[in-house]
Amino acid sequence: MRNFSASKKLFQRALHLIPGGVNSPVRAFRAVGGNPLFIERAKGSKIYDVDGNSYIDYVLSWGPMILGHAHPAVVKALKNAVMKGTSYGAPTALEIELAELVLKVYPSMDKVRMVNSGTEATMSAIRAARGFTGRDKIIKFEGCYHGHADGLLVKAGSGAATFGLPDSPGVPKSYARNTLTLPYNDITALKSMIEKEWRSIACVIIEPVVGNIGCVLPKQGFLETLRKLTKKHGIVLIFDEVMTGFRVSFGGAQAYYGIKPDMTCLGKVIGGGLPVGAYGGKKEIMSMISPEGPVYQAGTLSGNPLAMTAGIETIRELSKQGIYSQLEKKSEMLEKGLIDAAKRAGATTRFYRAGSMFCTYFTATDVVDYKTAKTADAEKFSRFFSQMLDKGVNLAPSQFEAGFISLAHSEKDIDLTVKAAFEALKNI
């Protein structure tokens, strides 16, 4: 058994100072038991805790470390940037350079605005859609998490799903009243809602692949129907690709599935591990944003030089020829290995993957939405998680979170992960 004494001591200190001892709920390990790991450093495919334990990491800071931790090109660029200052509160050429890179990869966007988090991006995109349409209501899908802004914590995924708290105290009923929720992948319910309410609906926001209740793929025709209906009724379609952007494919889920949304929200990867978010879309919608238009949105640290630098270097690396074929090969190898390990161990699981994000559910039910995701055995996952951690493999500490693989993961890493999974699955 591994020694976690230093992490335990730090957690006890943190509990007196920080709500729940953590600065984001799922980190608390409550869904899997035990105490959270306190990480000291990371490099490549590995993270290292304060007790000196190393782990093959499939959390990857919840997605952004697609190149692996502390990638040399990103680190070098950041060192140079830090020497020039950390924040100016003024425009820089770096903002333009990153915007050009993003718009080239995501041609559905004519203009993009940088912010500091995915929550800011989704909140701002919805405000822009409301300002553009003059309508108040939004549609979101059960289990899709779009940050913790008021009005979006209605049947949300991520930490809300993990803790069984799909609706949050502190959100006024008047906010929630303007949020209409639908089951993901339910075309009949989608058609019915839009045909009934379209005159008051400003936008539909969706994770095109749901990454906050694991990894739920869209059924054939679902996204196509959504695009057709929103276009017909003048409803702004927002793809929240904070997680799926650069993960499902280089051009995100919209490129992979061939759907062109009106607005896109990005984050994670375009900050190269630093806090960042972005929202963009059609010129006529983005022209509503202040100072060009009347819809106000601002941020002192938006477009800060460190995040822009890390994002630029990350996208440059991802743009190199053959990178995504390498990433797909590694992802496929992990998928085949984990499915085979479950079969050999006699475990009942469902595995889903979209590009380099994935999830194993402990259920016999095909997972297509929030309801079926919740059939997964969280207790069994908890035991699996603990055994994997003890064998040196770091997974997200919840059945309802996606895993990620990076370019830094080696065949040896994957082989060790599959071996560990087989042994763990046999014993749960």
Q: Active-site residues: which are they?
A: 145, 240, 268
Count the Cβ atoms, other than its own, within 10 Å of residue 275: 17
CB-CB contact of 295 with 288 (8 Å): yes
Q: Where are the beta strands (DSSP E) in 130-260?
A: 137-141, 179-182, 201-206, 236-240
Instruction: Report residue 34: phi and psi, to 5°.
Output: 80, -170
Which residue, chain included where needed, has tokens 């309508």? Answer: 135
Longest dimension (CA), the chain: 60
Q: Quick one: CA dihedral 109, 259, 323, 210, positive or negative?
A: positive
Whole-number Cα distances in Å, 158 to 26, 213, 399: 8, 6, 10
Task: Give the span between the Cα atoms of 341 and 335, in whole angstroms.
Answer: 10
Task: Give the span between the Cα atoms of 47 and 56, in whole angstroms.
Answer: 7
Burial (CB count within 10 angstroms: exposed 0-12, middle 13-18, buried 19+), residue 321 = exposed
What are the beta bridge partners of residue 111?
A: 281
